[in-house]
Structure 1
Amino acid sequence: MLGRGNKKGRDNFCNHTLIASSAKVTGDIEFTGGLHVQGRVEGNVHVSADGGRLVIGESGSVKGEIRVGDILINGRVEGDVYAVGKLELAEKAVIEGNVYYNLIEMVVGAQVNGKLVKEGAPKHLPAPDKGKAKAASADT
């Protein structure tokens, strides 16, 4: 379940930053460790080479691109999301943009208004009808 039994991911970071619900940050953010967004961010959010985890709380919002290894979203995102590690979408998550992921967990109620793209997946899959037609013609 979302956030349960995941102490390993939370305890690995010695640097945690909170953007409170009353705060608005304008500009790009690059961070290491943990970043918890309860307020508003208008800019891109990227993790440094040392890695980190992003949590967007129920009252949090990000307007910009997100490129972070591990992400938990329960707020609003307007922009593309790139998650190299695990992406968790809680029931109040709303994403207006494309989502590029390696591993995803999505709870009923979460919304993605864009494409879900599995990283490393084949890009050019044949259409279902074409594959069946070729197989049928090969049998005859």
Structure 2
Amino acid sequence: MIGRDKKSTGGQQNFRDHTLIAPSARIVGDIEFNGGLHVQGEVDGNITVGEDGGQLVIGESGVVRGEIRVPRITINGRVEGDVNATEHLELASKAQVEGNVFYVMIEMLMGARVNGKLVRLDEERRNLPAPEKPGGRPDADPAEADARPENT
């Protein structure tokens, strides 16, 4: 995580498998990963985690255009799409999110920007599998209907 001692895991799993999308790389298509994924380049597609779990980091130069559905997410770049963090979400100072943010626990630093709804997920709803996507994209996110808005 940003600004944390590398020896400390903060109670999180250490992932042996780590994938880097370099600043000069552009990926077109959906990504499913296990372990760690660090995005410094561009991803045009949805990002989800496999059965083994994982953590996503979007660096300052990283851009994701699509839905993100990962338990632990750190954003310090740009996301154009909904973000679903079922455990922990960190929005660092240069984070820019154009979409709705669904979270259980959130950390938001000064300078981070969200243009969309912040929706806290109920504990019983956070471990549901991703909805089936007929035709590649859902019309509406079912988590939004079952989630409790932060201001209630």
What is the TM-score of this pair, normalised by structure 2?
A: 0.76
Sequence identity, in percent?
A: 62
Equivalent position of 1:132 in the other structure: none
What corresponds to 1:137 in structure 2? none
Which residues of 2 match residues 86-125 of structure 1 at below 5 A? 86-120=88-122, 123=148
1:32-85 residue CA offsets vs partner (Å, 9 max, x unmatched)? 000000000000000011100000000001000000000000000000000011
**Of the candidates 81, 84, 105, which is equivalent to residue 83 of structure 2?**
81
SS at match of 2:105: strand
1:16–1:108 distance in 2 versus 1, CA, 3 Å = same
Select the residue among 31, 34, 41 that pairs with 2:43: 41
Q: Which whole-Å CA distance do the structure 2 matches of 1:124 and 1:74 have between them? A: 24
Distance 1:53 1:103, change over 3 A: same
- SS of the residue corresponding to residue 9 of structure 2 reads helix
Q: Which amino acid aligns with 2:71?
A: G
Unaligned runs of 5+ in 1: 128-140
Sort the Cα spacing of 1:113 and 1:31 in 2 relative to 1 into closer, same or farther, 3 A.
same
Letter in 2 for 1:102: V
Separation in 2 of the partners of 1:85 and 1:34? 15
- Structure 2's unaligned 5+ residue stretches are 124-146
Q: Provide the residue aligned with 2:136 in structure 1.
A: none
Query: Is the CA contact (8 Å cut-off) linking 2:99 and 2:116 kept in structure 1?
Result: yes
Conserved 8 A contact 2:120-2:148: no
RMSD between aligned residues: 2.4
Tell me how far 1:123 sits from its aligned partner.
Answer: 3.6
Q: Which has the higher helix share?
A: 1
Between Structure 1 and Structure 2, the one with more strand by share is 1
- Separation of aligned partners in 1, 2:33 and 2:149: 35
For residue 99 of structure 2, what is the amino acid of its counterpart?
Answer: G
Q: TM-score, normalised by structure 1?
A: 0.83
Runs (4+) off by over 6 Å: none
Instruction: After superposing the two structures, state which structure 1 stretch, 3-12 or 18-27, moved more.
Output: 3-12
Partner residue in 2 for 1:16: 18
Partners of 2:98 and 2:51 in 1: how far apart?
Answer: 26
Partner of 1:130: none
Please tell me the residue identity of whatever aligns with 1:55.
Answer: V
The equivalent position to 1:67 in structure 2, one of 55, 60, 69, is 69
Q: Secondary structure at the match of 1:49?
A: strand
Residues 106 and 124 of structure 1: CA distance in aligned 2, closer, same or farther (over 3 Å): closer
Greater C-alpha radius of gyration: 1
